[in-house]
Structure 1
C-alpha cells in the first residue's frame, strides 16, 4: 500500500472547517489526519456534519497537544503559509511540494504537511519545525485561503502526481528522523542556555527559533546527529 503524507491541522478553530478538510482529503485518497489542540475540543459534532461522508477520516484522526507529538513518525515537514517569514527555508508551490513529498516517500521517509489555524495561520515557532514552506500563488491583495481550500489544493497535487516516480538506490545514507533532529536541537539549546548564550533575554526567543530553523532546513543524516551529540558532550566534559 502506498504511503501517504499526514495532514496536520494545527490549532484549528472550528469543527466545520475540520469536517470540510476531512472531506477534501478523502476526495484525493488521503486519510491520515492529525489534530493539534483544536479550539472547540474533540470529537466535534459540527466536524462530522460537514464531513459529508468522510467521517472515517475524522474517526481515525490522531489528537495531539503539540506539533512534535502530532508529527511522530514523520521525517519531513512542509509548512503551508501565505506570508513571508524571517527565516530561511526552501519555498514551494503545492505542485513542487508534493513532487518533493513523493520523492521523500519513495526514499522511505514519512512526510507531514502543517496547516495553520483559520484566523492567523501558522506561527513562526510552528514553521521553524518544518524543512520547507508551501505558498500558494494567490492574489497578493487577497491572499486568505480557507483551511479546507488549502487542504484541497495540497490533496489535489498529491493525487495528480500519482504516477510512479521510480526506484531509489538502497545504499544511500539514512536520514535523521524528526524526533532525532528534535533531540539534537534540544540538546544543543540546553547547553547554550547553560553557557549564557541567549542574551539579552528579549532576543532569546528569536535566537532559539533561528537555531531550530537552522537544524530543520539541514538534510541531517542519523550519523550526523550522533556525531554532533558526541562532539557536544565531549566539549562539555572538557569544559567541566
Structure 2
C-alpha cells in the first residue's frame, strides 16, 4: 500500500527517528514532514531510526499540510480528543477497509505537545482515535506504530476496489471555491464561514469524489457566480433576489 505518514511540526529529532523506525517495522516507507522544528537528520534522529536510516534520509519536507497532502486521495487525521464541529475519531480497525481501498492514503500526526489543531483536522476526511486506558497520551512513535499496524498488517486483507478519488489539492481548491460562492450569495458571512464550511466538508468528504465529480461541482459554482454577475449587470433585482 502506498501509505504516506505525515508528521506536522515535529519537535524533537529522536521522535522523528523513532517514528521512521516504527514505519519500517510496519512496511510504510513514505515519510513526510510539515514545518519541522528540528533537523530531521540530526545524529539523535539517525540513531533512533536504526535500520530505517534510508527511510529517514528520503523524507520530504513541506511548508504546509496542504502541500504534503496534495497528491493524496485520502487523509486520515489522528486525535485523542473530541472536537466541536468535527466528526468524532473512529477506531482504526473500522477505517481499515477505507484506507486499503484508497490509491494514495495519508496518515497525519500532530505536534508532540498539542496534537493536530482543528484547521489540520479539517483537511482530513476522517479522524482515527487509538483506544487506550484512562491515560490517553501516547508517544509519537507509539502512535505511528499502532495505527500503521492496523492499516498495513492488522486483520484480514481487503481487496482494494478499482477507483480514482480526487486528490486533496483538488478538494481544497473546491472548498476554497465553495467558500467564495457562499459569501457571494450571502449564504454565510466572514464570521460564520469557517463553521459552515466545516459542515459542508464533512458531508462532501464522505462522498469520496472522483476528479471528474469535483470538476462538476466547481462548474456548478462557476455558473452560480455567472448568474449573480449577470443579474448585477442587468440591474434586475428579481434575478438577484435571495431565497
Query: For this pair of structures, how many residues does the alignment match?
Result: 229
Counterpart selection for 2:177 from 165, 174, 187: 187
The answer to whether the 8 A contact 1:125-1:209 is kept is no
From 64, 68, 71, the counterpart of 1:70? 68
Residue 127 of structure 2 is matched in structure 1 by 133
TM-score normalised according to structure 1 size:
0.85
Q: Does 1:206 find its partner at 2:200?
A: no
CA RMSD in angstroms comes to: 2.3
Q: TM-score normalized by structure 2?
A: 0.84
Question: Aligned residue for 2:228?
Answer: 239
CA pair 119-236 structure 1, distance change in 2 beyond 3 A: same
Tell me which residue corresponds to 1:122: 116
Query: Which of 119, 137, 146 is equivalent to 1:144?
Result: 137
Gaps of 5+ in 2: 230-243
User: Which protein is bigger by CA-based radius of gyration?
Assistant: 2
CA deviations over 1:146-181 (Å, ceiling 9, x no partner): 10000010122234248643363x5x6x43222211
Deviation at 1:113, TM superposition (A): 0.4
Structure 2: how far apart are the matches of 1:182 and 1:67? 11
| 1:18-50 deviations in Å (ceiling 9; x for gaps) | 011001111112111100011124443321121
> Residue 92 of structure 1: SS of its match in structure 2?
coil
Cα offset, 1:73, TM superposition: 1.7
Q: Which residue of 1 aligns with 2:241?
A: none
Which ranges of structure 1 fall in alignment gaps of 5 or more residues? none
SS at match of 2:61: strand
Aligned CA distance change for structure 1 residues 41 and 192 (closer, same or farther; 3 Å): farther
